[in-house]
Amino acid sequence: MTDKSRYILTDEEIPTSWYNIVPDLPSPPPPPLHPATHEPIGPDDLAPLFPMDLIAQEVSTERYIPIPDEVLDVYRLWRATPLHRARRLEKELGTPARIYYKYEGVSPAGSHKPNTAVPQAYYNAKAGVEKLTTETGAGQWGTALAFAASQFGIECEVWQVRASYDQKPYRRAMMQAFGATVHPSPSEVTEFGRKILSEDPDSPGSLGIAISEAVEMAAADPSVRYALGSVLNHVLLHQTVIGEEALLQMAQAGDTPDVIVGCTGGGSNFGGLAFPFLREKLAGNNDVTIKAVEPKSCPSLTKGTYTYDFGDTAGMTPLVKMHTLGHDFIPDPIHAGGLRYHGMSPLLSHIYELGLIEAQAIGQTDCFAAGVQFARTEGIVPAPEPTHALAAAVDEALRCRETGEEKVILTALCGHGMLDMAAYDAYFAGELRDHEYPEEAIAEAMTRVPEL
């Protein structure tokens, strides 16, 4: 038993409910506001974008929400995902710490994103929606939604951030393999895309711009809805299947985490892993320290302002209270494309303000160094995003080497990097640099955050 390094669950052990952390928090997160009236929005305001089942989950105060059988059937294609103990990495680091990682790279898209893409496609199909539009940064979310839409017989149209569209042709091809239509963003297809292109024909795009394009298309056609791959409450809710499984697997391993680290773009893989453990902490069953790790060039939690801002660049979405760098701030084109978002999940932002989690920012060269060390010991090339979490886990393990503490560290290895090898190429060629903290650009963008 003692040298076991992989913990698996049977089909019967896959959790059958998602966990909603809201009723367990000391106070609820502040409500989203209507972009024009600044009054709290109601379900009807969201109806042009999302089906009612998802809106109900977005505002739910139920602690547990059953996972529909149709969704569980698709989950079983790759769930439960394995929990690994990183014994070879531990040995390489010479640490007394025990490092565990929950590996989401075994999914059809190669990341955690299908955990929410599948229920989102399911509820939309159930409501009679014919097509879903979305944005994608690194290409992971677009791939996941393309896969999920194909499972439920609906169409999928994706706006892929230009920088990633050019850097990652295989992500585009994968979305097409699952049947999706893919546009580079900004595109000529939408009014907002044309506006951006007229101002800057070489715009590398951003997640915020791509969201505006996808929302514009969905809002214009009643048979089309929009799907978001992170940030929203229902997305974090769906991702809790990761943490519920990990709780069972950590129990199998006979360990309780002292530290959980995860990378945060919009907060969904991190929240998904952490929330079930945070529930146990709030109930007095563990004393885990939970830490979000973000890129230094897009540090929304560590440097952002906690205020109401738009989720997209054009200002079409409701105003949500979150840690933001300004809705028209365009982050440097780092390779962890999935972490280049100006804001943070409002739920996670609220939990951070409550002091229930910590945050740290790391530069991309340190992250790639940890990614390579991980690949050479554990045999999985991580996506650039989770190398942020790995860098923090390695730091913690090295601290344990100094102090002799036998801490238990748990992290989310939320995706593999097999379609991100151009980024590793750049790292090996010495071409990656750590962008300076873009203080002025952020201060500039913050002047356009709406005043309430």
Ligand X SMILES: *Cc1c(COP(=O)(O)O)cnc(C)c1O
Return the structure tokens found at 417. 């990097």
Q: How far is the CB of 90 from ligand X (least distance, A)?
A: 23
* Shorter beta-carbon distance to ligand X: residue 95 or 368: 368
Question: What is d(CA 240, CA 261) in angstroms, rounded to the nearest whole number?
Answer: 15
Q: What is the 3-state secondary structure (H, E, C) of 95-126?
A: CCCEEEEEECCCCCCCECCHHHHHHHHHHHHH
Distances (CA, A) of 46 to 53, 218, 219, 327: 11, 12, 10, 20
Longest dimension (CA), the chain: 63
End-to-end CA distance of the chain: 58
Nearer to ligand X, 90 or 309 (CB): 309
The residue (of 298 and 449) whose beta carbon lies closer to ligand X is 298
Contacts of 169 (CB under 8 A, 6+ apart): none
* Interacting residues toward ligand X by CB under 6 A: 111, 113, 138, 140-141, 230, 263-270, 338-339, 383, 385-386, 414-415
Whichever of 138 and 161 has its CB closer to ligand X, that residue is: 138
Give all strands of the β-sheet with 289-295 in edge-to-edge order: 6-7, 83-85, 98-103, 408-413, 259-263, 289-295, 358-362
Write the CA distances from 179 to 158, 185, 193, 303, 393, integer angstroms. 11, 19, 23, 39, 38
Min dist CB 100 to ligand X, Å, is 18
Q: Given the complex with ligand X, which of 193 and 417 has the nearer CB atom?
A: 417
Residues with Cβ within 8 Å of 408's Cβ and at least 6 positions away in sequence, in order, are 97, 98, 100, 255, 256, 257, 258, 259
| Residue with Cβ nearer ligand X (95 or 134) | 134
C-alpha–C-alpha distance, residues 64 and 9, integer Å: 21
CB 241 within 8 A of CB 81: no
Min dist CB 440 to ligand X, Å, is 26
* Closest to ligand X by CB, 77 or 251: 77
Q: Which is nearer to ligand X, 33 or 293 (CB)?
A: 293
User: What is the closest distance, in whole angstroms, from the C-beta atom of residue 384 to ligand X in the complex?
Assistant: 8
If the CB atoms of residues 113 and 225 are measured against ligand X, the closer one turns out to be 113
Hey, which bits of 264-365 come out as E strands? Answer: 289-295, 305-310, 319-324, 358-362
Shortest distance, position 380 Cβ to ligand X, whole Å: 12
CB of 36 to ligand X, least distance (A): 28
Q: Please, what is the minimum distance in Å from the beta carbon of residue 264 to ligand X?
A: 5
Provide the residue type at 267 as one letter.
Answer: G
- Minimum distance of ligand X from residue 48's CB (angstroms): 24
Looking at the Cβ atoms of 347 and 442, the one nearer to ligand X is 347
Closer CB to ligand X, residue 246 or residue 400?
Answer: 246
Question: Which of helix, strand or coil describes residue 170?
Answer: helix
- C-beta of 26: minimal distance to ligand X in Å? 24
Report how far apart, in Å, the C-alpha atoms of 202 and of each of 193, 196, 341, 366 are. 12, 10, 20, 30
Q: How far is the CB of 195 from ligand X (least distance, A)?
A: 26
Residue 61 identity: T
Q: How many CA atoms lie within 13 A of 325 on its CB side?
A: 30
Q: Are 46 and 58 in contact (CB under 8 A)?
A: yes
Minimum Å gap between C-beta 186 and ligand X is 20
